[in-house]
Amino acid sequence: MPLFPRNIVCHCRLPRTLRFFSPAASPPPPPLPPLPLKFSRRRLKVASAVTLSSILAGLYYSYTTNNSSSTSLNTTTFTPYTLTSKTPITSGPTQTTIFTLSPPSRSPTPPLPKLPLSAGILSIQIKQPQLQIARSYTPLPPCQNAELRFLIKREPGGEMSRYLYSLKEGDVVEIRGPGVEYVYPAQGNNKIVFIAGGTGIAPALQMAESLLLLQEGEGSGREAEILWAVRHKEEAFGAMKKEIDSLTKRVEAAGSGRKLVVRRFVDSEGGIGIRDVEAAIVTKGKKASVLVSGPEGFIAWIAGPKDLSGGGEEQGVLGGLLKSVARKKGCNIEVFKL
Ligand SMILES: Cc1cc2nc3c(=O)[nH]c(=O)nc-3n(C[C@H](O)[C@H](O)[C@H](O)COP(=O)(O)OP(=O)(O)OC[C@H]3O[C@@H](n4cnc5c(N)ncnc54)[C@H](O)[C@@H]3O)c2cc1C
């Protein structure tokens, strides 16, 4: 029995799935439909003052749309990539691993596509071929390389993560995308505060990397602060620390006062508290845009639950720690729940 109904796009971060037939259905399976623009549009609606060019860049990944061949990444068909490495980050009950996928080698070799990082926070869909389901994952920086890396958590009983964890180096993985999950607000004297739980760090790091793409004038004084909550210390202080330290250095080296601060919180040591949120958001002379990403329960704790009542995934009202901060400080906080 499928866990989710057929022909339904599930609208919460965890099980956004496209499933069109049960595993027992007779072959040949129908192809998975194109990457739904629906989720992009919904998020575009709430992002304030975006540039038309970045929307277009994200939605119409220039040279790839309508490309029926599967030799380069596109939003319609699945392209075979090769799993070139699996780097375990944590073991035990919350197992996470970085999966590195490399594009097919093509001859003659045209320049490989770069993800349109400036368009916003991007995701890629990975296909489970036996079940014909596809789930979204967030590429880790650097997103300007041909290979793609994903920090993936093994979900107990999870269909896609079980499949991915069963793969060996050299195996083929079919992917398509990118989809735009969130369009960055217009440049200005603002600070982005990203509150992430677990693998929700991936979109936060993408946002941080996008600071590197800004021209000197635009990038001037741009600041991002990430509050990252993890269940176990090893999630944030092992290999992921190296990743983050290297990104922080690259942002600072880009100059013009660009700054990235990443603060880590471990659940057993108290996790993220109201004072931490307040300190990040209430910044003199700068307006903070807040993004929240992670498991449903985490998002609800920080910003109130999303509204799933209409069969869609809407932002819901502001709640959680952010609401308490807004009340206490008597201010409006611009929040987006990923
Ligand atoms: C835009 C986006 C980006 C994402 N980026 C990442 C990322 O970078 N890294 C990452 O690890 N994940 C990411 N995710 C989550 C990812 O897409 C998958 O949802 C996740 O990997 C779980 O998929 P799964 O098939 O392994 O688990 P599923 O089969 O969906 O199961 C998930 C959990 O729910 C339980 N479950 C499933 N169905 C039911 C049911 N009917 N009733 C009760 N319990 C049920 C399962 O037992 C399991 O514990 C992202 C999601 C989105 C939407």
- Cβ of 293 less than 6 Å from ligand 1: no
Q: Which atom of ligand 1 is nearest to the CA of 140?
A: 8
Residue 247 is predicted with a pLDDT of 94
Residue 288 is predicted with a pLDDT of 84
Q: Which atom of ligand 1 is nearest to the CA of 164?
A: 26
Q: Give the β-pairing of 287-293 and 334-337.
A: parallel
- Cβ of 181 less than 6 Å from ligand 1: yes
- Cβ of 8 less than 6 Å from ligand 1: no
Structure tokens that stand for 86 in this block = 């699996």
- Cβ of 122 less than 6 Å from ligand 1: no
For tokens 């720690």, what's the residue? Answer: 321
Q: Give the β-pairing of 96-102 and 79-90.
A: antiparallel
Q: Which atom of ligand 1 is nearest to the CA of 154?
A: 26
Q: How far is the CA of 18 from the centre of ligand 1 (A)?
A: 12
- State the CB neighbour count (10 A cutoff) for residue 65: 12
Residue 274 is predicted with a pLDDT of 94
**Model's pTM, two decimal places?**
0.82
DSSP string covering 179-240, please? EEEEPPPPSSSEEEEEEEEGGGHHHHHHHHHHGGGS-HHHHTT-EEEEEEEESSHHHHHSHH
Interface confidence: ipTM more than 0.85: yes
Q: Which atom of ligand 1 is nearest to the CA of 136?
A: 17
Using DSSP's 3-state secondary structure scheme, residue 24 falls into coil
- pLDDT, one tens digit per residue, over 97-119 is 999 999 987 655 556 667 888 88
Q: How far is the CA of 318 from the centre of ligand 1 (A)?
A: 24
The verdict on whether omega for the bond into residue 295 sits within 30 degrees of 0, i.e. cis, is no
Residue 5 is predicted with a pLDDT of 27
- Cβ of 152 less than 6 Å from ligand 1: yes
Q: How far apart are CA 30 and CA 20, in angstroms?
A: 8
Name which residue sits closest to atom 7 of ligand 1, judged by CA.
137
Residue environment code for 145-170, b if the CB has 16+ CB neighbours within 10 A, otherwise e: eeebbbbbbbeeebbbbebbbeeeee
- pLDDT, one tens digit per residue, over 291-321 is 999 999 999 999 999 998 887 789 999 999 9
- Cβ of 202 less than 6 Å from ligand 1: yes
- Cβ of 158 less than 6 Å from ligand 1: yes
Substitution site in 160, 166, 235, 291 for ligand 1 pocket (most atoms within 8 Å of beta carbon): 160
Which residues 6+ apart lie within 8 Å of 280 measured at CB? 193, 195, 225, 227, 263, 288
Q: Which atom of ligand 1 is nearest to the CA of 161?
A: 26
Q: How far is the CA of 200 from the centre of ligand 1 (A)?
A: 12
- Average of per-residue pLDDT values in the chain: 79
- Cβ of 3 less than 6 Å from ligand 1: yes
* Signed CA dihedral, 235, 239, 241, 244: sign only: negative
In order along its 338 residues, the chain shows pLDDT tens digits of 332 222 222 223 333 333 322 223 334 445 566 655 333 333 333 333 334 334 434 443 433 444 344 678 999 999 999 999 999 998 877 799 999 999 987 655 556 667 888 889 999 999 999 999 999 999 999 887 889 999 999 999 999 999 999 999 999 999 999 999 998 877 666 789 999 999 999 999 999 998 887 766 666 667 899 999 999 998 998 889 999 999 999 998 887 778 899 999 999 999 999 999 999 998 776 778 899 999 999 999 999 999 988 877 899 999 999 999 999 888 878 899 99
Substitution site in 10, 136, 162 for ligand 1 pocket (most atoms within 8 Å of beta carbon): 136
Q: Quick one: which of 34, 33, 37 has its CA closest to 45? A: 37
- State the CB neighbour count (10 A cutoff) for residue 286: 15
The continuous run of DSSP H or E covering 46 comes out as helix 38-46
Q: How far apart are CA 239 and CA 140, in angstroms?
A: 13
CA distances to 103, 194, 199 from 83, rounded to whole Å, are 9, 30, 19
- Cβ of 306 less than 6 Å from ligand 1: no
